[in-house]
A and B are shown apart, each in its own frame.
Chain A
Amino acid sequence: MEKVAIVDYGMSNLHSVFSALTKVSNGNFDIQITRDPSVISNSDRVVFPGQGAAADCMRQINQFDLAGSVQKAASEKPFLGICMGMQVLLEHSQENNGTECLGLLKGSVKAFSDTFKIADISAHKIPHMGWNTIDQKIDHPIWAGVNQHSYFYFVHSYYVSLADSKQSAGMTDYGVEFSSVLTDGKVFAMQCHPEKSADNGLQLLTNFLNWNGN
């Protein structure tokens, strides 16, 4: 049976991710919540969730000595980043007066509040909380059966700004247009929560379990 590792670095409630994956796996995948590097390296695919502040996330990742395993997994097998598990893949985040992140992708994480201040936008509440659409920028096996401009559930105050826009797999508009989904090699990562996005989210998770990483 194929093994799926959900990486637990103590920064999110993994119940929802676990139960959504369990639901779509139909008993055909062995899904484990783990912070054991050997379990991660022996798994066939990896889910990397996360919530909370960037500095706390990076501190926990380093405390559990997971940076190496995460980087290795992302280069070797289908890898799904969710929410903070997407943001910390970038080089740097503005959060917490500047936080160095894992640097798997070139670019940074910016604050909606700064961008709104500069653009003089006051109508948008922060966090960006609720259902918003994703403009799919590329064809990808993980988009199979998910309609263009489908709604997904978001909750975040910072957003990803990629150095190479070709790595954007989807864009979302919230005062500023930002990369809500990115992909590079075996990495597919999204700002929204597929595990909380009803049928669209379950379809996407199903596609991830079936994706060969190419």
Chain B
Amino acid sequence: MSLAKRIIPCLDVDAGRVVKGVKFVDIRDAGDPVEIAKRYNAEGADEITFLDITASSDDRETIEHVVEKVASQVFIPLTVGGGIRNVDDIRRMLNAGADKVGINTAAVHNPGFVQEASQKVGSQCIVVSIDAKKVSSASEPDSWEIFTHGGRKPTNIDAIEWAVKMTDYGAGELLLTSMDRDGTKSGFDLELTKKVSESVSIPVIASGGVGNLQHLSDGVSKGRADAVLAASIFHFGEYSIGEAKAHMRKQGITVRE
């Protein structure tokens, strides 16, 4: 018996509704975050992550209501990311029922924010999201750089150094997304994942690129990730969380029953 590797479905939420169409045949309202969260919980999801992609600041507080509603009915850890800029934002999410918040751009602009946040609410609540892109050419040793704004803005910050720094600053966990792989369904960037996971003492969640169940297993066994996050393969009903766990178990990976 040992600590299980986690499978985390991720939902994009815009103005309180799940977007990128989740397709469960027997769900009445596929845009309702509560219905979908309940379904993932019933399938055995180990946590659920909500990414708030609401552009309009007027609609921002709707994510709080979403979290409140989900947290009153689904009793597994919930993470909320997107638009978290200060400790007040964090407290609002935690008070609504989130267990952890994801910090991305705000950490890049002001790394001290991660320090402040982990001191005020505890490291266990702070997930630093890292969006990384490979910047080395084929003839060079591998290197990755941090990007913000959905992978559009380069920062000249080395991804491995950044992961170590965020750990030192009090992050409780890292959500590592390969911007090269995100949306490609060609699997995680395993070299990046392994390099980051072996460079830090805190858990690493692999993200970006999952297209099949073997990709999830590889993230753990080859990428040394502590958890794997995916969106579309679960949303569109290609695979259930149960099937993902059965596949990982068959490969000798410990997962929660």
A→B interface (CB under 8 Å): 13, 15-16, 19-20, 22-23, 51-53, 124-133, 135, 149, 151, 153-156, 173-174, 195-198, 201-202
Contact = CB atoms under 8 A, between A and B. Distances in A.
Contacts of B76: 153, 196-198
Given A23-B73, A196-B75, 20 more contacts: A16-B97, A19-B71, A20-B75, A125-B226, A126-B201, A127-B124, A127-B202, A129-B172, A130-B46, A131-B256, A132-B3, A132-B4, A133-B1, A155-B172, A156-B124, A173-B2, A196-B77, A197-B76, A198-B76, A202-B75
Contacts of A151: 4, 256-257
Contact of B2 (A127, A129, A174, A196): A174
Contacts of A155: 124, 172
Chain A interface secondary structure, helix, strand, loop or mixed?
mixed
8 contacts: A16-B71, A16-B97, A129-B124, A129-B226, A130-B46, A130-B203, A196-B75, A196-B99
A131 B6 contact: yes
In the A-B complex, list the 10 residue pairs whose CB atoms are closest, starting with the nearest: A133-B1, A131-B256, A151-B256, A131-B4, A19-B72, A15-B97, A13-B94, A155-B124, A52-B122, A125-B203
A195 B256 CA distance: 17
Given A130-B226, A196-B76, A135 B203 contact: no
Contacts of A174: 2-3
Contacts of A51: 122, 124
Contact of B96 (A15, A133, A154, A196): A15
B4 to A, nearest CB: 5
A22 B68 CA distance: 14
Contacts of A156: 124
B173 interface: yes
A198 B256 CA distance: 11
A126 B202 contact: yes
A202 B96 CA distance: 20
Interface in B53-74: 71-73
Nearest to A172: B1
